[in-house]
Chain A
Amino acid sequence: MAEFKLKIRRYDPESGSAPYWDEHTVELEPHRSVLEGILQARNENDGSIGVRCSCRAAICGSCGVRVNGKPGLACHTHLGAALESAGEDGVIEVEPMGNMPIIKDLIVDMDAVHWKKIQRVTPWLIGKQPVPEREYIVSRESMIDVTQSMACIQCGACVSDCLSMEVDPLFVGPAALAKAYRFVGDPRDGAHEQRLKDLSEDKHGIYDCTHCFKCIEACPKGVAPMNQIMRLRRIAGNDFQIKDRNNGERHEAAFVSNIERNGILHEADLLPDSYGGKFHPRAVPELISSLPIVVTALLRRKMTLGKALLHPHTAPDGVKRIFEVVEGREERNEFNLYISGTDAEAEASPEVAAAIEAAEPAGVAPEGTEGSSG
């Protein structure tokens, strides 16, 4: 047994008084969870502590909290580990998740935010037409790929820390967009294009993600929502050529061709090109609104007129060649660590690697023998 000090953030919006911190000492083995600590404090010291839980085994997703500032599952965080990430005073801080209204103490309103957003992305399969007589036949790899987003247990930890949502509460957000990929990545779904069009045209959709990695860091299930969002963008722009009104696709295309031309980024072109080019009607108001900054920048000699207008750098031939080869491929070569794992892992467990090899000799199973799922 060891003693742990828990500092719990308490708040009852109905009481009218401000949130406060409440300290409890609990006695448990270090490998027991923070959730057990909270429950002990509730059972033995103060029955009014509000906390939500059910499975206590990292399955149901109901015990999302912040421990020492980081979001995660209370039932999946060892007290010992929590102590390690605690401050110098050795007190473990437990707070409710962010970006969602507090109902009481550690319980946040998932319905008001998280579930609304999940509903926003049509979270069910819209079967591809014509529906086959028996099951849909799909490749094994495409199903492994979507299992990553299927691993989501709807705990809201990613939503809690999403930095875009912090400034734009309307942002569809990491969990819901990971859910959207679950269907866009599923070959049995027939509404890929509509889904993507919807989420690209929405100002608060896939192009509203600021690529901050917070959701990857937060997720206790390895869903990596940001990576799924980047895939949605890739498929929207490259496969369906969706030119959204938020300039998401245009910005990406402008960036890529900028590097193809110059080898290194020529920022002066990037902004206007992201809006469709210097003379595009969309670009004009943007350029005018940034004019005062440009003038100051010129005055401070941050940029020179020459630099802003000329192209001082052109891409080396090697770079041009890479663009030719890779952009010329018929099929995208996308190495997916989630599917393939690393050589080091394979070495560590040769049986697994051998089993995978044996199950799928050349990496592609013959037609009709692939796994199917309903």
Chain B
Amino acid sequence: MKVAYWPGCVSRGFTAELHGSMAAVAPMLEIELVELDRASCCGAGVIAEHSQELADTLNARTFALAQQEITQGADLMMNICSTCQGAQNECQQRLDASAEYRAQINETLSDEGLEYQDGIINKNFLWVLVEEIGLEKLRSLVRRPLTDLRVGPFYGCYIVRPTDRLDINRAQPRDEYLGQVIETLGGTVIDYAGSHKCCGFPIITMNKEASLEQAGRHLADATDAQADCLVTPCPLCHLNLDLQQPMAAKQVGRELNMPVLHLPQLVGLALGLSPKELGLAHHIVKPTAVIDWSQAVVGGVGGW
């Protein structure tokens, strides 16, 4: 399949290994990525907090750029960030709700010759994996099952709430997809208190203690549940859970050392890519448990 691909900002900045691992994994899943490189940040909820219209217009522009790719053969728009998913979805809800409002926004876009038509399909890589590629196909592509690897899912708020706007329901349990993917890849899903909670990132500059306390607690809960690592579809969660982990450890007063993987990295490991190819060396918390595991399984192939 071909997707109009919105990588987000953080995946090209502080978590470059996410963008890299997505690019490495995509061809193995037969996904062709057409990057929306002229698009702008979704605003992560912060621009909307400042001005709703500004966020709606910026994202309408991104959708319009994606729709140009869709008319040229892309199947849908794909993102790799829970926060992009949620923030863009929130704008889309307003844009799709009213033709009158949409016309006002398109008026601003018309300077650039762009127009957003309602009803774009924009899915996070996690949703694409389960709904477009399908777990059966994914299973058939696994070269190195994640046997004995104990993985805790961490979703990020924006991709699991609010459930009605995100179309999460019994028939489409998008809030269980990470567990399904981990299982399909052969790993063990770890159940722990923080999997669907907030990493605390949005208040890191406003109330640092409370922010780090959140990250620290979830990491500690996962440690107590004996997870080898966490996996997340959200690079912003990754910032608070990995980049800030040393500070979070201080805040909760215990050692953590919990590796946090990006979703494409976990998929890539199971599809046979080496930790190095997937950029695992760039994490703040060394994913030692994961690397040991990969070496035990393939006897050191891949080189670290």
Interface residues, chain A, with chain B CB atoms under 8 Å away: 84, 163-164, 166-168, 171, 203-204, 207-214, 216-217, 230, 233-234, 237-238, 246-248, 251-253, 255-256, 259, 263-268, 271, 274-275, 289-290, 292-293, 296-297, 300-303, 307, 313, 315-319, 321-323, 325-327, 329, 332-335, 337, 340-344
Contact = CB atoms under 8 A, between A and B. Distances in A.
Given A267-B10, A267-B13, A274 B205 contact: yes
Contacts of A313: 12
Contacts of B243: 293, 297, 302
B108 A259 contact: no
Contacts of A211: 45, 157, 198, 202
A48 B97 CA distance: 50
Nearest to B95: A335
Given A163-B214, A293-B244, A217 B97 contact: no
B130 interface: no
Classify chain B: how many residues form its interface, as a range. 35 or more
Contact of B13 (A216, A266, A340, A341): A266
A166 to B, nearest CB: 8
A241 to B, nearest CB: 13
A213 B155 CA distance: 13
Interface of B: 8-10, 12-17, 38, 40-41, 43-54, 56-58, 61, 86, 93-94, 96-99, 101, 104, 108-109, 111-112, 114, 157-158, 161-163, 170, 197-198, 200-203, 205-207, 209-211, 213-214, 217, 239, 243-244, 246-247, 281-284
A167 B200 contact: yes
5 contacts: A208-B203, A303-B14, A321-B112, A333-B53, A335-B97
Nearest to A167: B213
B61 A263 contact: no
A212 B198 contact: yes
B205 A264 contact: no
A213 B82 CA distance: 13
Contact of B53 (A255, A263, A326): A326
A237 to B, nearest CB: 7
A265 B41 contact: yes
Nearest to B239: A267
Given A322-B61, A326-B53, A326-B54, A212 B161 contact: yes
A337 B56 CA distance: 13
A333 B105 CA distance: 10
Contacts of A326: 51, 53-54, 57, 108
A297 B98 CA distance: 45
Chain A interface SS verdict (over half): helix
B54 A327 contact: yes
A313 B200 CA distance: 28
A332 B44 CA distance: 20
B283 A217 contact: no
Q: Max chain A CB contacts within 10 Å: which of B10, B17, B53?
A: B53
Nearest to B283: A300
Contact of B54 (A84, A171, A263, A322): A322
Query: Which residue, A259, A323, A325, has most C-beta atoms of chain B within 10 A?
Result: A259
A332 B197 CA distance: 33
Contacts of A230: 45, 48-49
A316 B198 contact: no
Contacts of A255: 43-44, 46-47, 50
Contacts of A164: 203, 210
A33 B41 CA distance: 45
Contact of B246 (A204, A292, A341): A292
Contacts of B14: 267, 297, 302-303
Given A208-B206, A210-B203, A342 B51 contact: no
Contacts of B207: 168, 203-204, 207-208, 246
Contacts of A168: 207, 209-210, 213
Contacts of A344: 97
A264 B12 contact: yes
A65 B162 CA distance: 20
B50 A217 contact: no
Contacts of A293: 243-244, 246-247, 284
Contacts of A342: 96-98
